[in-house]
Structure 1
Amino acid sequence: MRFTGHCRCGQVSLEVQAQTLPPLYACHCLNCQRWSGSAFALHVLCVASAVQVVGEHTTYVHDHNGHTSTQYVCGRCHTRLMNETSAAPGMRVVRAGILEGSEKFVPVAHLWTRRKQPWLVLPEDVPQWQESPTAAEFGRALSG
């Protein structure tokens, strides 16, 4: 299957090639709240080789908790498209909101719930962690 999306202005498009939509999760940490300007951010965890970006984009590299994070944004409208982190080599974290049909996506996990907005009620049957889960816990949650 092919999942496509684009930035706000349409200059940059993104394509994910996968048999099914890779797992979607919500992160409620302060960084995601600030990056998104919202209560949380929705991410799709993808194998890096499955994600193709076309169009003029810019990268922003920064250190975060001892890991290097590379953010990809549209060079014109600055929509945040995805990121890579040294904490998860070979993976790309696509911003779910840029994908077509994102209104149909449902998170399979919630991270950093200790920072979630108090008015937000999360489903009890969806895995959630007060902070970051271990890689093994996260992997189990994402694999369903």
Structure 2
Amino acid sequence: MFVHCCHCYWCQRETGTAFALNAMIESDRASLLQGELDVVNTPSNSGKGQRIARCATCKIAVWSNYAGAGDAVRFRVGTLDEPFRLAPDIQIFTASKQPWVVLPADTPAVAEYYKRSEHWPRDSLDRFVALLAARSGG
């Protein structure tokens, strides 16, 4: 639906690198092809936490689920079959980005978070609203 490149300190800490690249993908569009998962509950800056599904063997983070969308949306790019297809749609939490990271001029960037209605394409917004409606039963 949409791809964040997040530069917040939480993502830096959790990934061990300068940022996290997270595609918001409906759970039914991303599946585990092999192996087993260990799900780890971790804290998040929002205070609501996140669940990170890790490969039970190598412990790589396969996807995350954040509290706001629950199990309905999976977040991750690097573990997809073709991660090169998912460039960031927006750079977020740039106020805490590492000073040596150079942001592309043609990608929107915000100091913290943003309003979906101002940045998401209409079809992505529609998909997200439909997903949340189905999740809540209405």
Q: Normalised by the size of structure 2, how large is the TM-score? A: 0.75
What is the distance in 1 between the residues matched to 2:29 and 2:92? Answer: 24
1:47 aligns with 2:29: no
Aligned residues: 122
Alignment partner, residue 81 of structure 2: 100
Which structure shows the bigger proportion of residues in helix conformation? Answer: 2
Whichever structure has more strand as a proportion of its residues is 1
Identity of aligned pairs, percent?
Answer: 29
Task: Give CA deviations for 1:43-89 in whole Å, capped at 9, x if unaligned.
Answer: 11111222222421100113432324111001111101111112124
What is aligned with 2:103? 122
Comparing 134-143 with 112-121, which one deviates more in the overlay? 134-143
Given residue 23 of structure 1, which amino acid in structure 2 is its aligned partner? F
CA contact (8 A) 2:2 2:120 kept: no
5+ unaligned residues in a row in structure 2: which ranges? Answer: 125-138
Once the 2 structures are TM-superposed, how far is the Cα of residue 140 of structure 1 from its aligned partner? 4.5
Q: Structure 1 regions of 5+ residues with no counterpart?
A: 1-21
Q: Which amino acid aligns with 1:111?
A: I
Contact map agreement 1:23 1:142 (CA 8 A) in 2: no
